[in-house]
Structure 1
Amino acid sequence: MSARITPLRLEAFEQLPKHARRCVFWEVDPAIVGSDDHLADPEFEKEAWLSMVMLEWGSCGQVASLPAAEDTASDAQCQGYVLYAPPHAVPRAQRFPTAPVSADAVLLTSMGVEPGQAADGLPNSLIAQVVAELVRRGVRALEAFGRTAESTELLDPATADPELFSAVDALGDCSFDQCMIEAEFLQEVGFVVVAPHRYFPRLRLELNKGLGWKAEVEEALERLLESAQLQQTAGAELAGASARVRNC
């Protein structure tokens, strides 16, 4: 069963995975927290941030979910999510050495999928849905701060560059290695580096090009669907033929 991707609504906040509900890496400026990186209620902070952005700007996320089983009363099962927002609404965005985000762009912040979903192309589908949504809203570009494989060198504060370490200083149980999107993946789906950096390049996707990429993704999905339908039809015909032979 394939996941259905829809815009994130505040009433569906509880359906997000636990880490997504508690992660405030992008949404809270560590400077206002002080030396103690502990937040009393990070889930409240995240929900408040989403509420603010949705009220002032509109939907800022996409959620992939499977419908709940018919014999249960549970909500739809979240398989993946992606979040984005205007740069001015993302406090962490100003801390990166490759900042600022371009004035005509929306910032892609974080994305997560359940184990096993990446192989099924769900990350690509989530980005495609973001592209489609922002194109409809007249946004010209999507940008993101990616993390390279070398960025893991910053996980040890004893050896990391203090200035760079402060840009991605952990907040609560959030850290850049789990709360940032890999630069390699971003390039695979069409982003190009506009501000190079050893650890945290800034990448950009022009949405007119992104729309073309989205169309290619949709065509590929349609081909897969047609192939699956042909296999189902062939299987049904074979089963019918076998039944007729048995009845003869």
Structure 2
Amino acid sequence: MRNIILRDSDGKAVATGKLPRNWSEVPLSTFLAYEATKSEQRTTPAVLALLTGIDEELLRSDVSLCVPLWQALDWFRSTLPEEKKLDEFEHDGVTYRHVGGSGSSNLRRINAGQFEALSDFIAEHAQDPIQSAPALIAVLYAPAGAAQTPELVEQLAERFRSLAFSVAYPIIADFLRTGAAVAFSIRTYSDLLPKATALLQTLDETSRSSGVSSSYFRKSQNWLLRTWIRSVRRTL
């Protein structure tokens, strides 16, 4: 961030703020707040206040102060961060790795619990993946060596709001371009699994009334889960 001082026509300092110089200095939360504004409002003092920390009312009272700020922020409105595949990244001193490991097809190698986490994300956030980006990244990445749990995903979603947009953007872009189709396929299988389990439960109840051992149901349920995971991976 570059420290800035705004001066009036007489050269008197009227405000101080911080000006981001590139996407690595723009938190994901700031970009999401900008993206949530209507297009016709994206050149208003409110947006400049969001980006620089300068008082909005001051900028409204003297719009001439906005001109040099927008000139300095031209890159913000005309460029996007570089797109690149991120198998891992660092944030606040912690290394986060993709839950599927390294490589261009890492969503195809996630385990059953990670299938469920991604499926839940799709069910809850499919209509607005951009504003849900912190939750998406929390589902796709975890601290190196840590087991992914619902509690951890919730914590990371909040933590990733301060993630640099230069890191967040390629993750979002890669998911929307290549991962979304895989994720929706996962969701389709996840929707079918409870129905299959319910069918096995019915069969188990029938078998009990016929004197068949209940261990048959447990074996069948385990077989179904293993078959489900293999089928998803084979289909994807």
Common topology (TM > 0.5): no
**Structure that is richer in helix per residue:** 2
TM-score (norm 2): 0.28
The structure with the largest strand share of the pair is 1
